[in-house]
Chains A and B, each alone.
Chain A
C-alpha cells in the first residue's frame, strides 16, 4: 500500500517541479487516477477514435491557466481606461524569433549609442581594401585556393593514404588525431615561438606536397579524358583492358605504390549492378543502335573517313579472347520450314550440322558476342566492292533474323540448317543494302513502294525495323502510326495474293510481323480485319442484289480468313472478329455458285477453314455438311438424288452438276494424291485432260478426308446419324468406289468406317428442374458504405448542408459551455475576492478589537493598580 502512494507522491512532486514538460505529461498519462477512459459501447471497425482517453486534470488546469491569462486580466481591468503599451521593437511581432528580436534590439541600441558617440570616437576602424579584398583578410595570410577548394577532403585523403601506408584500416582519422596529440605532448618542452614556427613550416610543406599531388592527379585525369575521347570517336571501339593497362603502366608515375593502392581500392569497391532495363529503354537502345548503324552506313556510303579507318587499329570486341581467331565467314544457317517440316540442308557440311544442333541451346546466349564479331567485320571492311563488304552486310542481315529466332527459343531443338540455294539467295538479297531506320508509312502506297519487289528477307527486315524505330514508347504518335501499319500490311498481303502468280511464300513469312503487330495492338488489328470482312460481305451482298447470285471471292479473302484463324483464337464462344468471319464463311458456302473447279477448291478451302475454326470448340456447322454433300453429288454420274437432298448452291441436275465426275479409266490409274496448290484459285493452268482429271480426284480425296474429320469431330452430337445420313447414303450407294484408284478407295473406306462405327444412343430429353421460386422476404436495405465515419445518403449539397448543421450545432454547444465555464470562473474569482475582502475586514476588526481589548485591559489594570494603591 505504501509503495504506490509514495510513488505517486513522488510523481506529483516531479510533475510539479518540471511543470508541463514532456516527462511530466508522460507521468500524468501513466497515472491511472489522472486518466479518464471513455468507454466505448461497440467496437466499430475502421473508425478512428480520438477521445478514448481523457486527462481531465490536465485539461482543467490548462483551461484555468488560460482564463487567468485572458479573462481574469480583462476582469481586473474592467474599470480602467488607461492602457499599457509596450513599444519595444517587435514586441508584438510573432514572426520574429526571440533570438532575432534580441539581436535587433541590441543593434538598435548600439546604433543609438554610436550615433551619439561618433563625434568623439577617433578610433573608428574603417575597413581598408586592396583589389576589393579586405586588408585584414590578406594580413591573415590565408591561402585562397582558387577552384573547388576541397582542401579538407584532400587533407583527409592524404591522411587516409598515409594511414594506408602504415596498414591503416577502419578508424584512420581517429588514429591520426591521436598521433597528432601525442606529437604535441612530446614537443611541449619547446618554447612556444619555436613551436609555432615549426607548425608553420610543417603546414607550408604539407601544402606544397598537396599541390604537387593535385597537379599530378589533374594531369592524369586530363590524359584519361583525352584517351576516352579518342575512344569515343571510334564509336564501338573499346580499348581492350589489357591495352589500357599497358598504357597506364608506361606513364611515369610520381608514386607507383600510391597508384597501385588506389587501384586496389577501386577494385575492392563493389560496383552496383546495372538495373533491369525497362521496355522503353530497351526500345530506345535498339533505336539508337539502329540509328547509329544508319549513320555509319551513311558515312560509309559517302566514303568520308576511309583513310582514317585504315590507320586505326583493328577493332576488337570486348569479349575478344585475343587469340587471333576471326570468324571471317559466317557459316551458320537460318531455319526454314517447308511444308510443315524443317528444311533440312543436304550439303556436305554434315559435321558442322551436328555441332550446330548440339549448340543450339547456347547459341542464343552467345548471340551478342557473335553480333559484336559481325560488327567487327563491318568495321573492318572499307572497299565497298570487296567481297568482305558483302559478307558484312550478310552479317547484319543475319543478326536480325537471329534476333527473330531468339523469340522462337522454344522451338530451338527443331533448328536445322538451311539449304544452300536459299543461302545464295540471301547473299543476293543482301546485295542491295537496306537503310537502318524507317519511318512508318503514312499510306498503303508508301508501304507498298517500300516492300514491293524486294526479297522476302528484306521485307521482313524492313518491317521489323519500322517497328523498332517507331516503338510506341519512343514517341507519342507512334502508336497510332503502327496501328495503321497493321491495316496496310493486311492490304499488302491481299495484294500479294491477287498478283499473278500469287506470292504465297512472301505471305507465309509476312504472317509473322502481322502476328507481332496484332499482339501489340489487338484493338486496331481487330478493327482492320473486321473492316476487310465487312467490305467482302458487302461486295457479296451487292453482287447478289445486282446479279441474283454470288461468286466466290479471290484468293486474298481466303488468305484473310486464314490469317484471322492465326492471329485470333477461334474457339471463343463469341469473338468480335471470329464470329463475323464464321458468318461470312457460312455465306460463302451457301450463297456462292459452284461453277468451276476453282470454285470447288475454294469451297473446300472454306470447309477446311471451318474445320480449323471449330477444331477445338467442336461446334456444329450445318453448311459444312451441306457443302460436302454437294461436292460428293457433283462427283457421281447418276443424277437422281435419292435418299438425300441438295440445298443451295448445288442443283440436282443441270450445268456443272458433273463437275468432279471422272470417266477416264486410265487417268484413274495414274493418279497420285497431291496437295492442291493455292495458286489454282487465281488461275487454272491450261492443262491436259489427264491433269484435270487428276485434279478432280485430288479434290475428291480432300473431300473424303474432310468427311472423315467431320465424323470424328461430331461423333458426340446427339443427332450425329441424322446429320451424316445424306453423306452415308452418298458414300454407300452412289459413289462409284470400285472405279476409283486404290488410294481413294482407302480414303473412302476410312471415312465410311468413321461414320458407321459410331453407336446409336438416344436418351429421352428431360428439362432441367425448375428452381423453386423463393418466398418474398423483407430484406434489409443495404447501402454501400463509401467512407467510414461519414453520414451517407443524399446528394452532395444535402450532405454539405448536413455537415454544416452538425458543425454549427457542435460549435454552439462548445461556445455555450465555454461561456458557462467563463461565468463560473468569474464567479469563483468574485467569490474569492469577496472572501478575501471579508477575511481582511474580519482580521482588521479583530485587530481593532484586540488593540481595544488590550487598551481596555491596560486601562483597567492601571485603574486597579491605582485603586490598589
Chain B
C-alpha cells in the first residue's frame, strides 16, 4: 500500500492560487488523484468523524488514513465549489466537469453506508449543493456554463435530481428574497430548465449515469416521477412574477416543450389566462398555450373571440410572432359555426389594420381575408353589395367598439382593400384586386406566406427575370435636378 503522497494538503489548498494555469493544473491533479482514490475505495465510508477526534480515537492506522483522506477530499470539493465562481470560464468549466466526475464516481462507489440491502445510493447532496446551486447564481449570467452542463442532462438520473434540486432551490431563493425580482437568477433558471428535454415515453428512460443493481424499481426510472418533478419545477418557477422578456420566452416554448410533459396541464390555466389578459405580444403568445388547453383539455374560455378581437391592433403585422398568430387565428376562424357578424368584424378590423402593414404582411393577410370570405359566404356583402347606399358620409364600421357584435361591420364595405389595390408593391396590388372579381371556390394556401420575411420578398423581386429595362427619359440635370424635385425643397447638397 502506498503511503500518503507528500504535500497533499497543499495541493488541496492550491486551487485558491491566483494564476489560471496553476489552478487548472491543480484541478486536473485533484481530479485524477481523488478519482483514483475513489475507485480504489481508499476514502472513508460512512459517517465521518471529526478530524481531531479520529486521530485520538482508536481507529486502525488504515482507517485513520482513510478518514484523513476523506477530509482532504471534502475540502477539495469545497474548493471546487468556490472555483465555480471564478472569473475564468475555463476554470469554471473544469471545476464543473470535475465535480460531475466525482458525482459519477461517488454514485458508483458510494461514500455512504447502504442502509439496507438493495437501497439506491446517489450523491444527491453533492449534486444539489455543489453543482446546481452554482449553475444558477443570482448575480451573473451563467448561460455558457449551463450550455456546457447540457450534456449531463441527457442522463435521466441526473436530470431527475437536477429538477428536484432546482425546484427546492427556487423555493429557498424566492423565500429568502421575498418577491424582490431577481431577473438574472430567473434568467439563469430559465436557461437551465428550458434546456431540459423530457422523454416522452416510458421506455425512453434508459440512460443513467449511475447504474443501480435493480434499476427498474428505482423511482428515477419511472416517467411519472420525472413528470411530477418537471411539473413541480415549472410551477415553482412560474409562480413568481417574471420580467416581460422572460415571459415571452416561456410562452414561446410553453405549448410544445412544457405542456405535453405535465401530469396536469390544466394547472397552467391560471398562468395562461393571466398572460392572455396582459395584452400585446404576450397575449398573442399565450394564445397558443390556451389553444392547446381548449383543444385537448376541454378548457372553457368565456368571451374567447371577443378577447381575440381585442387583440387585433396595428402591431400584429409588425411583431415577430406574426406567423404564429395568424396560424392560430386561421384555426380559430375556420369553424363554420361562427356568426357572420363576428367574422365580418374580424375581416373589417384586419383590413383596417392592413392600412399600416408592411408588404410582406399584406401578402399574407389578403389571401387570409379571402379565405374567410370563402368559409363564410354570408360576409361577401362586404365586397359585393348591389343596390347598397351610394353616398355614405362615414364608414358604418366602428373601429373603437370592443364588442364585435356592436361594430356594425356587416353594414360596411371593404374600402381598405380597394385602397390597397393602389399599393406600391405590384404583388400586393394584384392580390387586393382579387376582391373585384367573384372569388374562386378553392381556398388559398397561406401556410407558405405566413413566414414570408421582408428580405425574402426583396430577394424574390431581385430574382425575377426581366426582358428589358425601361429607362428614364427625362434628361438629368443633377442629383436634385428633376422637375419640381421634392429634395431641392428640403435638402441641400452640402
Q: Which A positions have Cβ atoms within 8 angstroms of B?
A: 337, 339-340, 407-408, 410-411, 504-505, 507-509, 511-512, 515, 518-519, 522-523, 525-526, 530, 533-534, 537-538, 540-541, 559, 562-563, 566-569, 572-577, 579-580, 582-584, 586-587, 590-591, 604-605, 608, 610-615, 617-623, 625-626, 645, 647-648, 674-679, 702, 705, 709, 717-720, 722-723, 760-768, 770
- Complex contact B390–A764 (CB within 8 A): yes
Stretch of B43-51, B73-81, B134-142, B352-360 with 4 or more beta carbons under 8 angstroms from chain A: B352-360
- Complex contact B480–A764 (CB within 8 A): no
Measured CB to CB, the nearest residue on chain B to A572 is: B470
- Complex contact A766–B461 (CB within 8 A): no
Q: Is B56's CB within 8 Å of the partner chain A?
A: no
Give CA–CA (A533, B458) in the complex, Å: 9
A sample of 7 more A-B contacts (CB under 8 A), given A339-B488, A574-B464, is: A522-B471, A525-B469, A573-B426, A612-B486, A622-B356, A645-B315, A705-B490
A762 is contacted by which of B356, B357, B415 (Cβ under 8 Å)?
B415
Give CA–CA (A468, B468) in the complex, Å: 25
Give CA–CA (A472, B95) in the complex, Å: 72
Given A676-B490, A765-B415, A579 contacting B482 (CB threshold 8 A): no
Return chain B residues, CB-CB under 8 Å to A540. 455
Q: Is B177's CB within 8 Å of the partner chain A?
A: no
- Complex contact A622–B357 (CB within 8 A): yes
Taking the nearest CB of chain A, how far is it from the CB of B23, in angstroms? 34
Return chain B residues, CB-CB under 8 Å to A559. 479
- Complex contact A767–B438 (CB within 8 A): yes
Measured CB to CB, the nearest residue on chain A to B487 is: A608
Taking the nearest CB of chain B, how far is it from the CB of A100, in angstroms? 65
- Complex contact A582–B419 (CB within 8 A): no
Interface centre among B317, B392, B418, B470, by most A CB within 10 Å?
B470
Return chain B residues, CB-CB under 8 Å to A525. 469
Taking the nearest CB of chain A, how far is it from the CB of B486, in angstroms? 5
Taking the nearest CB of chain A, how far is it from the CB of B12, in angstroms? 45
- Complex contact B458–A583 (CB within 8 A): yes
Return chain A residues, CB-CB under 8 Å to B414. 765
B314 is contacted by which of A509, A576, A645 (Cβ under 8 Å)?
A645
Return chain A residues, CB-CB under 8 Å to B436. 767-768
Interface code B360-401, partner A: CB below 8 Å = 1, 0 otherwise? 000000000000000000000011111011111111000000
Q: Is B324's CB within 8 Å of the partner chain A?
A: no
- Complex contact A709–B419 (CB within 8 A): no
- Complex contact A580–B454 (CB within 8 A): no
Given A620-B422, A763-B390, A340 contacting B480 (CB threshold 8 A): yes
Return chain A residues, CB-CB under 8 Å to B491. 605, 608, 675-678
- Complex contact A590–B318 (CB within 8 A): yes
Within 8 A of A (CB), among B461-485: 461-462, 464, 466, 468-473, 475-482, 485
Q: Can you offer 25 A-B residue contacts whose CB atoms are under 8 A? A: A337-B477, A337-B478, A410-B475, A515-B475, A526-B469, A533-B462, A534-B459, A537-B455, A538-B455, A566-B476, A579-B461, A586-B358, A591-B454, A617-B424, A622-B358, A676-B491, A722-B415, A723-B355, A761-B391, A761-B392, A762-B393, A763-B392, A764-B385, A765-B414, A767-B436
Interface code B327-359, partner A: CB below 8 Å = 1, 0 otherwise? 000000000000000000000000010111111
A576 is contacted by which of B382, B389, B466 (Cβ under 8 Å)?
B466
Give CA–CA (A723, B354) in the complex, Å: 10
Return chain A residues, CB-CB under 8 Å to B464. 574, 576
- Complex contact B391–A562 (CB within 8 A): no
Taking the nearest CB of chain A, how far is it from the CB of B179, in angstroms? 26
Return chain B residues, CB-CB under 8 Å to A511. 476, 478-479, 481
Measured CB to CB, the nearest residue on chain A to B385 is: A764
- Complex contact B487–A580 (CB within 8 A): no
Return chain B residues, CB-CB under 8 Å to A608. 486-487, 490-491
- Complex contact B425–A582 (CB within 8 A): yes
Given A608-B486, A621-B424, A709-B486, A504 contacting B466 (CB threshold 8 A): no
A647 is contacted by which of B315, B390, B391, B426 (Cβ under 8 Å)?
B315
- Identify the 7 closest CB pairs spanning chains A and B, nearest first: A764-B388, A677-B494, A576-B466, A619-B424, A675-B492, A762-B392, A522-B469
- Complex contact B469–A577 (CB within 8 A): yes
Return chain A residues, CB-CB under 8 Å to B478. 337, 508-509, 511-512
Given A577-B469, A765-B418, A566 contacting B462 (CB threshold 8 A): no
Give CA–CA (A761, B390) in the complex, Å: 9
Return chain B residues, CB-CB under 8 Å to A677. 491-494
- Complex contact B358–A569 (CB within 8 A): no
- Complex contact A648–B318 (CB within 8 A): yes
- Complex contact B424–A587 (CB within 8 A): no
A625 is contacted by which of B356, B359, B424, B470 (Cβ under 8 Å)?
B356
Give CA–CA (A522, B470) in the complex, Å: 8
Taking the nearest CB of chain A, how far is it from the CB of B19, in angstroms? 35
- Complex contact B469–A614 (CB within 8 A): no
Return chain B residues, CB-CB under 8 Å to A504. 479, 493-494
Chain B interface, DSSP helix/strand/loop, else mixed: loop
Measured CB to CB, the nearest residue on chain A to B388 is: A764
- Complex contact B418–A766 (CB within 8 A): no
Measured CB to CB, the nearest residue on chain A to B453 is: A541
Return chain A residues, CB-CB under 8 Å to B424. 582, 610, 613-614, 617, 619-621
Return chain A residues, CB-CB under 8 Å to B383. 765, 767
Q: Is B457's CB within 8 Å of the partner chain A?
A: yes
A541 is contacted by which of B395, B455, B477 (Cβ under 8 Å)?
B455
Give CA–CA (A132, B480) in the complex, Å: 87
Q: Is B413's CB within 8 Å of the partner chain A?
A: yes
Q: Is B217's CB within 8 Å of the partner chain A?
A: no
Measured CB to CB, the nearest residue on chain B to A677 is: B494
Interface code B96-109, partner A: CB below 8 Å = 1, 0 otherwise? 00000000000000
- Complex contact A762–B394 (CB within 8 A): yes
A507 is contacted by which of B358, B420, B477, B479 (Cβ under 8 Å)?
B479
Return chain A residues, CB-CB under 8 Å to B403. none
- Complex contact A580–B458 (CB within 8 A): yes
Q: Is B20's CB within 8 Å of the partner chain A?
A: no
Taking the nearest CB of chain A, how far is it from the CB of B170, in angstroms? 29
Return chain A residues, CB-CB under 8 Å to B352. 722
- Complex contact A337–B481 (CB within 8 A): yes
Interface centre among B382, B462, B475, B482, by most A CB within 10 Å?
B462
- Complex contact A526–B487 (CB within 8 A): no
Return chain A residues, CB-CB under 8 Å to B318. 590, 647-648
Measured CB to CB, the nearest residue on chain B to A562 is: B479
- Complex contact B385–A765 (CB within 8 A): yes
Measured CB to CB, the nearest residue on chain A to B382 is: A765
- Complex contact B472–A566 (CB within 8 A): yes
Return chain B residues, CB-CB under 8 Å to A568. 469-472
Return chain B residues, CB-CB under 8 Å to A623. 358
- Complex contact A767–B437 (CB within 8 A): yes
Return chain A residues, CB-CB under 8 Å to B382. 765
Return chain B residues, CB-CB under 8 Å to A647. 314-315, 317-318, 356
Q: Is B423's CB within 8 Å of the partner chain A?
A: yes
Taking the nearest CB of chain B, how far is it from the CB of A536, in angstroms? 10
Give CA–CA (A796, B338) in the complex, Å: 64
Give CA–CA (A541, B425) in the complex, Å: 20
Give CA–CA (A541, B394) in the complex, Å: 42
Return chain A residues, CB-CB under 8 Å to B390. 763-764
Given A619-B424, A765-B414, A626 contacting B356 (CB threshold 8 A): yes
Return chain A residues, CB-CB under 8 Å to B423. 619-622
Given A507-B479, A619-B424, A705-B490, A763 contacting B391 (CB threshold 8 A): yes
- Complex contact A766–B487 (CB within 8 A): no
Give CA–CA (A376, B423) in the complex, Å: 61
- Complex contact A518–B471 (CB within 8 A): yes
Taking the nearest CB of chain B, how far is it from the CB of A512, in angstroms? 6
Give CA–CA (A711, B227) in the complex, Å: 61
Give CA–CA (A767, B425) in the complex, Å: 23
Return chain A residues, CB-CB under 8 Å to B52. none
Give CA–CA (A620, B356) in the complex, Å: 10
Give CA–CA (A590, B360) in the complex, Å: 12
Give CA–CA (A502, B385) in the complex, Å: 58
